[in-house]
Structure 1
Amino acid sequence: MRFNHVPRLLKLAGPMILSSSAITLMQIVDAVVLSRHSGAAVAAIGPSGMAVILFQGFLFGTAGYAGTFVAHSHGRGDRHGVLSSAWLGIYTSLAAGLLALAIAWPLAQLFHLAGHEPLVARYESSYFLICMAGSFFPVVGSAFGGWLSGIGRPVLVTAVTFISIFVNALLAWGLVLGEWGLPRLGISGAALATVLAQAVAAALYVAVFARAHGFSDAPARRLDWIELKRFLILAMPLGLRISGELAAWTIFLVVVGRLGTAELAASSIAFRINGTAFFPALGLGQAAGVLVGHARGAGEDDDVPGITAQSLLVCEVWMLAMAVLFATASAPLIAFFAGDGPESARIVAAGALIMKFVAFYCLFDAANVMIGCILASAGDTHWVARTFMFCTGAFLTLLWLVVRHAPGLVAEWTLATAFVFATAVIWSLRFRAGAWRKINVLREST
């Protein structure tokens, strides 16, 4: 195999890995700081953090799909199309931000119905409400990040992400623990730190877009309803697929939480640690998606299988390395986040077991992430969304049966691992079938 696509992949991937990891890195910082606050807060940030990403996932998955349009337009050499595509993401972000603000409070009350301990439920509701109300900032950041990545300038995304992570870390330490004269707000402080950091990132992206004359280009700024409709038809299924996946894992985490606070905290920590493997893989997948967009925009569909194979190999090497780490250092990794409370020993014991499952399914998640991103970039979003919803329905039905007849940490995590394996196989078969070749992302040039 010639590795001619790997240098371009890695050049794009570094910044995109950091960008895609931003939310998880912020939540890891929150979890570390909250472990100095209370065990209940650590337990709460798992389900509430997953729920935030669940609902925001649909929003920034939809708005961020502007990056695919940008990449195709860039591959075609259409500068007007690049800026017009970026504006599709901006307009979608404005609508998404208003929607998130309207539904934040009603959705936050659902945590009180999850069956968790009252203090944990109150913390979950507070964290979700604040982060969800501020959804506009990460959503519009996703649209701008997609624009920069699509034109092959992800280094700027890296700079913005570094700044936002630094701001979040400082504010989280101050607002959670009451340092530097700031109020001691606990988990609400962690949420505020995240939203404010995302707002800083959004402001920096606006400045970069303004310097590129994105706001002054009136023809590109003009809202084309036909093109917006075409964009949403392709983008919304991707957003639904992202939300569907996150919904499945959020429900799974809530179900595990019924086993006890220690099991919930251990599963929450395991998901945070798994993010150190998953989000870099997602960044690799997004980088591969940009290469696919450039190739398809330039009419070079025959390059796509080579891009896919080489990208998948790089991703698999990464996931294999992380799987070894998770399997051999599971207890120390969990202990780092478990704190020193009375539940710490139980959390570490449960978490060490869970990390063995995480290590195993990482081996399949490479194909799950990589090929899913490539199919989305190729425009095959409708089939992926429909199929994933079917798979998710099957997973949740089986989870209900397990909880009803044989609840337990091993049984529930075994089912989760099987779910990851099944979707990886399905995406691989779909790509090999080649249906994506018949899908046009952009309108034909006139």
Structure 2
Amino acid sequence: MTHAPSERVAVTIPALLRLAWPIIISRSTQVVVGLADAVMVAHLGEGALAATTTGAMNTFLVFILPMGTVFIVSTFASQYFGGGDVAGARRYAFYGLGIAGVAQVLCLAFIPLLPTVLSLFDYSPEVREGVELYIRIRLLSGLFAVGHEAIANYYAGLGNTRLPMVASVVAMVLDVGGNWLLIDGHLGLPALGIAGAAWSSVFSSAVAFLGLLAFFLVEGRAGGVMMPRLHLHELVRTLRYGLPSGFNWFFEFLAYNFFVNVVVAGLGTTALAGLMAVMQLNSVAFMPAFAMASAGAIVVGQAIGASARDEVPHAVRLTFGLTGGWQVLVGIVFLVVPEWAFAPFASGEASGALLATGARMLRVSVAWQLFDAAATTLAEALRAAGDTAFTLWVRVALAWILFVPGAWISVRHYGAGELVAMLWLVIYIGGLALALYLRFRGGAWRRFNLVDG
């Protein structure tokens, strides 16, 4: 096999930031797509806000397993690149695209099941109808969402984080413009409301994915490897390490989904709308930290591929310094001016009650900011090393043995409100951060060998 020369990313703060800033923009724009849907339907009332944000969350639950699985493409790409085998890294992008195709088939198969699944949850009739409409449309974009992640993770593994950033910015601009055109109806187009927000997201994700795919294929053709020879054992290896990563995200998000749909939804539409808006704000604020953790994971993967594992702890410490510092700043904003941060969501009917509820929830969210930074930094580093199974099992155990039962019993049996329910999120994220720290400190990640195993 021909090994092309490659230059891996240095383990320094400036190098991490150069790698991270395009990821920050990419991830932030992806969250802005969801945020724009929420903000731009908020004037239609809290029922529309609750339906759109809950619909987006439930759609993400369907997407998260294949998306989390193709995150492993970055791990393989970074390790092959660190070892000088660029052609080997490229093959894993194709395995990721194959997973994306399967994901779209499963999304289409899920559409007829939507009414039955949604009937299990305690939504008001207005919210249930809106959630079903939104999800039915968004499920048409499974290939685009997962395929985008597959190619973006391939380029990220090589250290090229700017190309995926461009695709993400295009998606954001198209989504916001599409929302303006379709939610209320402008330039002669029909006012589709919730459906308009969903169709705008489908269109924007399709354009971004197809553009990224075209670049990927043209680049491969220019390099003489438009379609490299693929190997079944490599696909199996992709699934072996990728599926635990995907189930890791899926089961954690499923727990959160249960928390929202069963625990919080029973507290009323105001509490549900408030929590969903707070989580949208936290998602936007968290994206820079997640991007910096992803940059740290690329550095970790390239170091492992170059047989420089002793550099990994230093890379993780630097990454946590960046992620933790950012999350502390976010926490200060949420603590000092929560009403200002939540104000864009509090329009339309009952805005005063929604603003007060949302501001209280934002203050509680301050408690998990540093824990979230630590858990994300460590989880990304362990994924880059191939230690995906442990992260899966610890998330499942903490989410379904501690978080879900604790929140459900507190709210449904003892009548606690939304603030107590959110405290269980703090306990869960704190416990996860501690478990991942102990795992990383134990050094089991040093024994994994993805490239040759």
Tell me the TM-score normalised to structure 1 length: 0.95
* Aligned-residue RMSD, C-alpha: 1.7
CA distance in 1, matches of 2:342, 2:135: 24
Report the equivalent of 1:212: 219
* Change over 3 Å in CA distance of 1:215–1:144 after alignment to 2: farther
Residues 437 and 214 of structure 1: is their aligned pair in 2 closer, same or farther, counting only changes over 3 Å? farther
Preserved contact between residue 9 and residue 287 of structure 1 (Cα < 8 Å): yes
| Equivalent-residue separation in structure 1 for 2:321 and 2:271 (angstroms) | 34
Aligned-partner Cα distance in 1 for 2:287–2:57? 14
SS of residue in 2 equivalent to 1:134: helix
Determine if the alignment matches structure 1 residue 38 to structure 2 residue 45. yes
The match for 1:245 among 245, 252, 256 is 252
Is this contact kept in 1: 2:220–2:227, CA < 8 A?
no
Tell me if 1:173 matches 2:180: yes
Mapped contact 1:316–1:366 kept (Cα < 8 A): yes
Secondary structure, aligned partner of 2:44: coil
Question: SS state of the match for residue 325, structure 1?
Answer: helix
The range that moved more, 298-307 or 176-185, is 176-185
Q: Distance in 1 between matches of 2:385 and 2:275?
A: 34
Cross-structure match for 2:135: 128
Q: Following the alignment from structure 2 to structure 1, what is the Cα–Cα distance between the partners of residues 392 and 188?
A: 48
Per-residue CA deviation, residues 333-379 of structure 1 (Å, 9 max, x unaligned), is 222212131x2111111111100111121121100111111111110
Q: Does 1:287 align with 2:295?
A: yes
Once the two structures are TM-superposed, the CA of residue 215 in structure 1 deviates from its matched residue by: 9.2
Match of 1:16 in 2: 23
Q: Displacement of 1:252 after TM fit? A: 1.4
Q: Residues of 1 paired with 2:413 and 2:230: CA distance?
A: 51
Q: Is the 8 A contact 2:289 2:322 kept in 1?
A: no
CA shift, 1:24, in A, is 1.6
Task: Return the alpha-carbon distance in structure 1 between the equivalents of residues 225 and 277 of structure 2.
Answer: 48
Unpaired runs of 5+ residues, structure 2, are 1-9
Distance in 2 between the 1:332 and 1:108 partners? 37
Q: Give the Å deviation of 1:130.
A: 1.4
**Aligned with 2:119: secondary structure?**
helix
Counterpart selection for 2:433 from 383, 399, 424: 424
Percentage of matched positions with identical amino acids: 28
Whole-Å Cα distance in 1 between the matches of residues 439 and 227 of structure 2? 35
Instruction: Choose which of 266, 279, 283 in structure 2 pairs with 1:275.
Output: 283
Q: Give the secondary structure class of the aligned counterpart of 2:18.
A: helix
CA distance, structure 2, for counterparts of residue 398 and residue 374 of structure 1: 29
Q: Is the 8 A contact 1:37 1:177 kept in 2?
A: no
- Distance change in 2, residues 1:412/1:272 (3 Å): same
Residue 352 of structure 2 corresponds to 345
How far residue 111 of structure 1 moved from its aligned partner, in angstroms, is 2.2
- Please identify, of 3-12 and 84-93, the stretch whose mean Cα deviation from structure 2 is larger: 3-12
Identify if the C-alpha distance between structure 1 residues 217 and 66 changes in structure 2 by more than 3 Å, giving closer, same or farther: farther
> Do the aligned residues in 1 keep the contact of 2:379 with 2:436 (CA within 8 Å)?
yes
Matches of 1:337 and 1:68, distance apart in 2: 37
Among residues 312, 321, 326, which one is paired with 1:313 in the alignment?
Answer: 321
Given candidates 414, 435, 444, the residue that maps to 2:444 is: 435
TM-score by length of 2: 0.94
Counterpart-to-counterpart distance in 2, 1:45 and 1:420: 26
The residue matched to 1:177 in structure 2 has which SS? Answer: coil
User: 2:363 matched to 1:370?
Assistant: no
- What pairs with 1:132-211 in structure 2 (closer than 5 Å)? 132-211=139-218
**SS of equivalent residue, structure 1 residue 114:** coil
Q: CA–CA distance in 2 between the matches of 1:216 and 1:225?
A: 23
Matched residue SS, 2:75: helix
Of 39-48 and 6-15, the range deviating more from structure 2: 39-48
Distance 1:392 1:129 in 2: 28
Letter in 2 for 1:23: Q
Q: Which residue of 1 aligns with 2:6?
A: none
Distance 2:130 2:68 in 1: 27
Q: Following the alignment from structure 1 to structure 2, what is the Cα–Cα distance between the partners of residues 4 and 67? A: 18
Equivalent of 1:398 in 395, 406, 425: 406
